[in-house]
Amino acid sequence: MPRSLRNLWQSRPLPVEFREEITTINLRHAQVLMWAGLIFSIWATATNWLDPAYHSTDLYITEAIDLFFTLVFLFLNYLVRGFPPSSRWRSVYVWTFLILLLSSMDAYYFASQNKLGHTSSYILGVAAAGAFLLFPPRVFLPVLVLNHTIYCVLLFTISRQDLTLMPALIQNTAGTVITGVVSWLLFCGRLEEFYHRKALAVSHQDLEKINVQLNEMVAVTAHDLRSPLLGVRDLLAIVQREEAHSDRTSRILLSASDACARMLALVNRLVETYTVEQEADLGVNLTSQDIRKLLTDAAERARITFANKGTIVETKLPDTPVVLALHTLTLARAVDNLLSNAVKFSHPQSTVNLILAQDTSGWYCDIIDEGPGLSEKEHTTLFKKFHRGNAQPTGGETTTGLGLFIVATSMKSLHGSVEFVRLPDKKTCFRLRFG
């Protein structure tokens, strides 16, 4: 049996968060019901006024009182919704509204009976309370029974005793029972949903803790692996330099050196990824500085690093200083990764453009290459960890699938963003936007 049904009639109180949640829902629904009741009241008054056959002083008085309380409670609703969720006045308002709703519809039923006979106003009030408002069944059902008892007493004391009385009683009694059941089920469903959401929130927190622990473990492992790998790389270099080897041995040493270099690159990427995630969580100190110098330095580093590929890195920067709140290392990391990707996936002797410009949203930096571009299905996973696209590096470079993730996380630390921009000539363009 669901926990909401099992514990519904126990004395243990409902969770505070759930009580505040359903009170907020009831406040919203009460407002909707009052606007609907206001329209209905105006329509009923106008209809009765236009038709002399339905003129009734009792009915006019009831409608006037109903209209007055509706306007007052609408005003109070706006006030009470501004109170803190823990305020007891919110609950007092909701329960008062429930009593007013039931009593006003009861009053309208008996006030209009002489002219209109047995109307559906009573059961409409009961159904509206049960279907639109959420109350604990152990409290709401007794209120419903008390209201129906008063209705039955009045029905046999002040109503006309004719052939329509018993059918009206049976109909309204059945409607009240159905309303009670529906109200119970709606409340239980909402309570069960609340428990599920709480369980999911706890599971999410546990998963986040596990993810943090895994990231820390990967970072520690990568950091510990870096020193041995550096040692192996240096030893391989020494062996290659100092002794004459056969062609087969030279090829083996070269392959081992390349494998060590790739493993070292992956380890460095893992350490870098952990660093940017920590920066995104803890934040970095931003200082105002001219971004043009940072971009110029990044372009020069790319020219030196990829000189053997013959790639041309062109910059287009404003002539006047562009001062933004930045963190030097974080921005350099993002731009270096984008330039590295641009050169890596472009053909030799091609051109990579680095452009700093401004639009209505602020300053942005475009890095455009002449590579093969990206497919539509890649757009949703571009900036996820370990994403690998269909395109392959054109110069045999290694790729770990972490570059764009590092860029996106770095820009998050700078209160900026990165996005892929589709250009008319199908060139690949990544745009860094600064906050």
Tens digits of residue pLDDT in 377-424: 777 778 887 777 677 777 667 677 778 888 988 898 888 999 988 887
Is residue 324 within 8 A of residue 285, CB to CB? The reply is no
| pLDDT at 229 (0 to 100) | 67
What is the average pLDDT score of the chain? 81
Interval 324-339: pLDDT, tens: 999 898 899 899 989 9
| pLDDT at 48 (0 to 100) | 62
Residue type, 48: N
Residues 187 and 194: their CA atoms lie apart, in Å, by 11
Is residue 54 within 8 A of residue 116, CB to CB? The reply is yes
Which DSSP string do the residues of 218-284 spell out, in sequence order?
A: HHHHHHHHHHHHHHHHHHHHHHHHHS---HHHHHHHHHHHHHHHHHHHHHHHHHHHHHHHHHHHH--
| pLDDT at 65 (0 to 100) | 77
Residue 153: CB partners within 8 Å, gap ≥ 6?
none
Residue type, 106: D
Beta bridge partners of 433: 364, 417
Residues 337 and 116: their CA atoms lie apart, in Å, by 79
| Radius of gyration over every alpha carbon of the chain, rounded to an integer in angstroms | 36
| pLDDT at 345 (0 to 100) | 84
| pLDDT at 1 (0 to 100) | 45
Residues 416 and 408: their CA atoms lie apart, in Å, by 9
Spans in the chain with pLDDT lower than 50: 1, 4, 9-10
Beta bridge partners of 352: 313
Is residue 33 within 8 A of residue 128, CB to CB? The reply is yes
Is residue 150 within 8 A of residue 122, CB to CB? The reply is no
| pLDDT at 58 (0 to 100) | 61
Residues 105 and 311: their CA atoms lie apart, in Å, by 81
Residues 435 and 324: their CA atoms lie apart, in Å, by 9
Does the pTM exceed 0.85?
Answer: no
